[in-house]
Amino acid sequence: MKNEQYILAIDEGTTSVRAILFDQQGSIVGQAQRPIHQFFPQPGWVEQDPLEIWNGTETVISEVLFQTETPPYKVRAIGISNQRETTVVWNRKTGQPIHHAIVWQSKQTNEIAEHLQQAGYQTFIQQKTGLLIDSYFSATKLQWLLDQVPHAREQAEAGDLLFGTIDTWLLWKLTNGHVHATDVTNASRTMLYNIHTLDWDQELLELFQIPRTMLPTVHDSSHFYGYTQEFTLMGVQIPITGIAGDQQASLFGELALDPGQTKNTYGTGAFIMMNLGHEPQLSEHGLLTTIAYGLNGQVTYAFEGSVFTAGAAVEWLKDQVALVQDVTTTATQAEQAAATDQLYVVPAFSGLGAPYWDQNARGAILGLTQQTDDKQLIRATLESLAFQTRDVLQTMTHETGLPLKSLMVDGGVSKNEYLMQFQADILGTTITRAPLAETTALGVAYLAGLQVKYWPDVATLQALPRTTTSYQPQLAASMREWRYANWQQAVAATRLFAEEPHDGTTNSI
């Protein structure tokens, strides 16, 4: 339609940045993608170049408009979704970053996090932020930059430096430095934001020694942030009206907007998020409490639990043990496998996440017999993703008292038919797969579009046609519970490993 307008979603992930155009039906009109390089200065450290991220963003915006022959004036609004927690500090006068961005999975601030844990700050921080102390979040990264980059702290205290997660950095660049802001979802992942008062917490700022002048203004996820400036998009000023962290954007893209509605994004890891409604609840079993989105002046909260190894376990089958040449064939091979009811793969390659939080656990294969073959190992590996998901969901339903009526799924690994059916079987509930894998981009497009009335209200979004794929449980309840009890025994076996000796010695026979 020649006169139709579109919403442009910038989907800035850990390894690439994409620009996607959506029409009023929530369908993709076009997309462009560029990779983002990662730097590993030391083992466990992960960094990126903020200027490369910005240049890549400019490029994909231009590419998607060119490829679809869409003039910029047909873009009604822009939304930004982003890899969360990744930390950028730049000079407000020059616009130059003072250091590479420290990526969310980087471990270079472990020492700071461990010091806080040993000092007994866990409850203090969780009660304010809903988060567990970890180098994963932005606060330790920001403190590290101020302490390690020469003259950074004195410049920050003089008011010359700005902090932001990637959404804030891109917003600042798109508006030519006129807007320094973020949304409530990204703020809630910094470990500096009080999710009850909805403000930067002064006690936390003092604990981490962060000048308040560095911090962005916080708004709803659906909000008018500002306009693109003249030098971008051929001089057309387009409103930027939606921002959300990637997992929260995915929840909104799934339209999981009622308390108890839950989604799982199966990627390298699996990110499970349950809508809690308008009242936050703190977990006693290792779940994170986070802000799901801010809409119409009201905040919605969520529980989040992460499975460290999901798609990475499938890649392991190909890259490390060479059981498959193409991961897309794993569903077929699992279907062909002989029964594996007593074979379990626990892919605790880097420890166990929620609800166990055991960094000393190590991966294991249990139930091997002389007849065990490659197809059975493939099948058991896929099943491990479903078992780990149940671990988290069972914790969520126990803590909230909310029943799991269904699970909405997305992400690349959700295309695996065997896994999706087994997930339904082991949960005893319906699995609904989104029609689009790009639910993160769709979610932030929805948020941006709502603000400019491209879609008048949430009811309009819910009325849009969606061709979902559903999976119904087929396993008998007794078998489901027997299999899950065996899984729990297998997990217990992986937790028998002791910490490595600190004197550098090894045991030998």
- Give 279-310 as a DSSP string: S----SSSPEEEEEEEETTEEEEEEEEEES-S
Q: What average pLDDT does range 459-464 have in this prediction?
A: 93
Per-residue pLDDT at 508: 35
Distance of alpha carbon 483 from alpha carbon 341, whole angstroms: 7
Whether the predicted pLDDT of 500 surpasses 70: no
Per-residue pLDDT at 480: 93
Count of alpha carbons within 13 Å of 3, Cβ hemisphere only? 0
Whether the predicted pLDDT of 205 surpasses 90: yes
Q: CA gyration radius for the chain?
A: 23
Per-residue pLDDT at 302: 96
- Residue 227, in any domain of the structure: yes
Q: What average pLDDT does range 167-190 have in this prediction?
A: 96
Rounded mean pLDDT of the chain? 89
Whether the predicted pLDDT of 1 surpasses 80: no
Count of alpha carbons within 13 Å of 345, Cβ hemisphere only? 23
Query: Do 242 and 176 belong together in one domain?
Result: yes
Whether the predicted pLDDT of 501 surpasses 70: no
Per-residue pLDDT at 355: 81
Is 164 marked as binding a ligand? no
- Residue 217, in any domain of the structure: yes
For 405, the token pair is 């009526």
Please say which residue of 214, 247, 280 terminates a domain: 247
Instruction: Choose between 320 and 90: higher pLDDT.
Output: 90
Confidence of residue 232 (pLDDT cuts 50, 70, 90): low
Residue 101: how many other CB atoms lie within 10 Å: 29
Which element (helix H / strand E) includes 127? Answer: helix 122-129
Kindly tell me the sign of the dihedral angle through the C-alpha atoms of 296, 297, 301, 304: positive
Strand partners, 161: 91
Q: What average pLDDT does range 441-464 have in this prediction?
A: 95
Q: What average pLDDT does range 475-481 have in this prediction?
A: 93
Is 416 marked as binding a ligand? yes
Residues 97 and 53: beta-carbon distance below 8 Å: no
Confidence of residue 156 (pLDDT cuts 50, 70, 90): very high
Q: What average pLDDT does range 82-109 have in this prediction?
A: 92
Whether the predicted pLDDT of 482 surpasses 90: yes
Domain containing 305: what range?
Answer: 256-433+468-499
Query: Do 234 and 286 belong together in one domain?
Result: no
Q: What average pLDDT does range 328-346 have in this prediction?
A: 83
Query: Do 106 and 194 belong together in one domain?
Result: yes
Strand partners, 293: 300
Per-residue pLDDT at 220: 97
Confidence of residue 45 (pLDDT cuts 50, 70, 90): confident
pLDDT in tens, 244-258: 999 999 999 999 999
Confidence of residue 53 (pLDDT cuts 50, 70, 90): very high
Is 24 marked as binding a ligand? no
pLDDT in tens, 24-36: 999 999 999 999 9
Per-residue pLDDT at 499: 53
Per-residue pLDDT at 234: 67
Is 67 marked as binding a ligand? no
Q: Is 430 left (phi over 0), alpha (psi -120 to 50) or beta?
A: beta
Per-residue pLDDT at 96: 95
- Residue 449, in any domain of the structure: no
pLDDT in tens, 268-288: 778 899 999 999 999 988 899
- Residue 509, in any domain of the structure: no
Query: Do 143 and 272 belong together in one domain?
Result: no
Query: Do 21 and 94 belong together in one domain?
Result: yes
Short-list 404, 445, 405, 428, CA closest to 481: 428
105-115 exposure pattern, b = at least 16 Cβ within 10 A, e = fewer: bbebbeebbee
Q: Compute the 3-state secondary structure of the chain and give helix, strand, coil in percent, each to the nearest 5.
A: 35, 25, 40
Per-residue pLDDT at 144: 96
Distance of alpha carbon 413 from alpha carbon 437, whole angstroms: 10
Is 84 marked as binding a ligand? yes
Percent of the chain residues topping a pLDDT of 70: 95
Query: Do 477 and 333 belong together in one domain?
Result: yes
Is 325 marked as binding a ligand? no
Q: Chain centroid to CA 136: how far?
A: 12
pLDDT in tens, 124-153: 999 999 999 888 899 999 999 999 999 999
Is 134 marked as binding a ligand? no
DSSP state of 54: H
Query: Do 162 and 290 belong together in one domain?
Result: no
- Residue 454, in any domain of the structure: no
Whether the predicted pLDDT of 496 surpasses 80: no
Is 351 marked as binding a ligand? no
Query: Do 366 and 335 belong together in one domain?
Result: yes
Residue 332: how many other CB atoms lie within 10 Å: 13
- Angle, nearest 10°, between helix axes 374-400 and 477-494? 100
Q: What average pLDDT does range 339-364 have in this prediction?
A: 79
Query: Do 271 and 304 belong together in one domain?
Result: yes
Q: What is the CATH number of the domain that holds 230?
A: 3.30.420.40
Please say which residue of 207, 225, 247 terminates a domain: 247
Burial of 453 (0-12, 13-18, 19+ CB in 10 A): exposed
Residue 222: how many other CB atoms lie within 10 Å: 24
- Residue 504, in any domain of the structure: no
* Structure-token match 């999981």, residue found: 256
Residues 311 and 432: beta-carbon distance below 8 Å: no
Instruction: Choose between 4 and 293: higher pLDDT.
Output: 293
Per-residue pLDDT at 320: 81
Query: Do 241 and 268 belong together in one domain?
Result: no
For 185, the token pair is 């979802």
Q: What average pLDDT does range 155-180 have in this prediction?
A: 95
- Residue 381, in any domain of the structure: yes
Whether the predicted pLDDT of 357 surpasses 80: no
- Residue 452, in any domain of the structure: no
Is 311 marked as binding a ligand? yes
In the chain, the number of structural domains is 2
Is 194 marked as binding a ligand? no
pLDDT in tens, 180-192: 999 999 999 999 9
Instruction: Choose between 468 and 58: higher pLDDT.
Output: 58
Please say which residue of 195, 217, 247 terminates a domain: 247
Query: Do 176 and 235 belong together in one domain?
Result: yes
Is 59 marked as binding a ligand? no
Whether the predicted pLDDT of 507 surpasses 50: no
Query: Do 228 and 80 belong together in one domain?
Result: yes
